[in-house]
């Protein structure tokens, strides 16, 4: 792992500044997605700027706007080295939300297979680089976790995916996952104002497992964090969002970021944040 790159599973290098597609679709709800041409422009420009890690899901779809369809329309045939990371499993939003959790089938073997196959179809690939098993749905008692990982391992043995990650997992679930499968990444909520995963990040770093924080800037930072971010940002001539991203990159070399935006200007800023170096003084001030 270097300052600029890390590797998923030892064989998939990605630049540490990636891109998350969720906000292109207005998912989960009430979003304000960009128009189609802007969305396609953002995806193509991201790759031009060196982004080679796109985070997505087949269920990032709302009102006929689907992230995977946009990725395919913008970028297929995919440039060499572009790493597509998707997620299957439990949902807390989406079409399933109105049904009781017991009726959600995202974590069943059939549901997982359908999820992987839907991603293959919509992305237009024969194999997905990384599939995250997403936990965190309400109403699941956790008993589906091991069988779900075993299902993903079977799908991997069939050649439908290359690597397995986990998302929305507790530390205990992470430990259970590592006892079953080679886990290459963890995708959990973490940012400068939400640091519950500090210990998990260090465990992942020691094990060579990538940690991909979601909501790297979108969580609405608490006032203390915002005040400190603004002070450092003013000094560096950057924005608070850029400092928040640079802080994540400085936090640990196994962190890869996937900030989401529908704005070409914000995309440029987010990629530029990868070049922002925070001093010891800056980091101390950010706490
Ligand atoms: N595994 C999971 O359960 C899970 C959950 C949530 C998200 N994710 C993944 O994580 C990715 C990142 O999360 P996210 O997109 O929800 O949140 P985020 O990256 O923390 O924040 C996105 C929000 O910040 C704004 N923004 C982005 N860049 C900005 C900038 N430079 N200056 C000011 N505002 C900026 C965006 O608005 P504009 O569009 O106006 O820029 C958008 O409202 C998602 O896209 C998705 O791929 C995974």
Which three-class secondary structure string do you get for 169-219?
CCHHHHHHHHHHCCEEEEEEECECCECCCHHHHHHHHHHCCEEEEECCCCC
Could you read off the pLDDT of 144-181 as tens digits, one per residue? 899 999 999 999 999 999 999 999 999 999 999 999 99
Q: What is the distance in A from the centroid of ligand 1 to the CA of 214?
A: 8
Q: What's residue 103's pLDDT?
A: 58
Q: What's the mean pLDDT when you consider all of the chain?
A: 91
Q: Which of 19, 60, 190, 211 is catalytic?
A: 60
Q: How many residues does the chain have?
A: 287
269 pLDDT more than 80: yes
DSSP 160: S
CA of 212 to the centre of ligand 1 (A): 13
pLDDT at 104: 60
pLDDT of residue 160: 98
Largest CA distance in the chain: 53
| 240: pLDDT strictly greater than 90 | yes
Give the pLDDT of residue 1.
45
CB of residue 188 inside a 6 A radius of ligand 1: no
68-117 pLDDT, tens per residue?
A: 999 999 999 999 999 999 999 876 445 555 555 555 667 888 889 988 99
- Would you state the pLDDT for residue 221? 62
Q: Is the CB of 167 under 6 A from ligand 1?
A: yes
Torsion of CA 55, 241, 9, 113, to 10 degrees: -20
Asked if residue 217 has its Cβ within 6 Å of ligand 1, the reply is yes
C-alpha 159 – ligand 1 centre gap (Å): 31
Q: What is the value of pTM for the model shown? A: 0.95
Name every residue whose Cβ is closer than 8 Å to that of residue 31 and which is 6 or more positions away in sequence: 23, 25, 62
- Which one is predicted more confidently, 222 or 234? 234
Whether the pLDDT of residue 15 is over 80: the answer is yes
Q: What is residue 218's predicted lDDT score, i.e. its pLDDT? A: 72
Question: Looking at residue 63, what is its pLDDT?
Answer: 84
Give the whole-angstrom CA distance, residue 56 versus residue 25.
11
Write the DSSP string, 225-252.
Answer: HHHHHHHHHHHHT--HHHHHHHHHHHH-
164 lines ligand 1 (CB under 6 A): no
pLDDT at 106: 79
Residue 26 has pLDDT above 90, yes or no: no
| Per-residue exposure over 202-224, b if at least 16 CB sit within 10 Å of its own CB, e if not | ebbbeeebbbbbbbbbbbebeee
pLDDT tens per residue across span 126-148: 999 999 999 876 556 678 899 99
Concatenated DSSP letters of 53-119: EEE--TT-EETTEEHHHHHHHHHPSPPTT-EEEEEEE--SSSGGGGS-GGG--TTSHHHHHHHHHHH
**Ligand 1 test: best mutation among 218, 225, 257, 274, most atoms within 8 Å of CB?**
218
Residue 55 backbone dihedrals phi, psi, to 5 degrees? -100, 130
Nearest protein CA to atom 19 of ligand 1, as residue: 259
Active site residue 60: yes
Centre of ligand 1 from the C-alpha of residue 143, in Å: 31
User: Which atom of ligand 1 approaches the CA of 167 most closely?
Assistant: 1
């Amino acid at each position: 792992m270097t300052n600029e790159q890390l590797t998923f599973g030892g064989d998939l290098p990605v630049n540490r500044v990636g891109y998350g597609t969720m906000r292109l679709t207005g998912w989960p709800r009430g979003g304000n997605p960009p128009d189609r041409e802007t969305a396609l422009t953002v995806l193509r420009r991201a790759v031009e700027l060196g982004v080679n890690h796109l985070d997505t899901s087949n269920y990032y779809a709302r009102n006929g706007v689907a992230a995977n369809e946009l990725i395919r329309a913008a970028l297929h045939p995919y440039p060499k080295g572009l790493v597509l990371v998707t997620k299957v499993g439990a949902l807390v939003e989406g079409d399933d939300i109105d049904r009781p959790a017991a009726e959600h089938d995202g974590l069943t073997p059939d549901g997982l297979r359908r999820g992987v196959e839907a991603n293959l179809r919509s992305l237009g690939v024969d194999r997905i680089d990384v599939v995250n098993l997403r936990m965190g749905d309400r109403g699941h008692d956790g008993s589906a976790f091991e069988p779900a990982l075993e299902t993903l391992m079977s799908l991997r043995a069939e050649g439908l995916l290359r690597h397995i990650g986990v998302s929305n997992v507790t530390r205990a679930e992470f430990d259970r996952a590592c006892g079953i499968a080679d886990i290459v990444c963890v995708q959990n909520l973490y940012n400068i104002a939400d640091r519950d995963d500090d210990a998990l990040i260090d465990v992942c770093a020691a094990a060579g497992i990538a940690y991909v924080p979601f909501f790297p800037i979108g969580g609405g930072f608490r006032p203390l964090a915002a005040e400190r971010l603004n002070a450092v940002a003013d000094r560096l001539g950057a924005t608070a969002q850029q400092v928040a991203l640079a802080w994540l990159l400085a936090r640990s070399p196994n962190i890869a970021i996937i900030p989401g935006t529908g704005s070409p200007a914000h995309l440029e800023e987010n990629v530029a944040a990868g070049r922002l170096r925070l001093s010891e003084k800056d980091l101390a001030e950010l706490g």
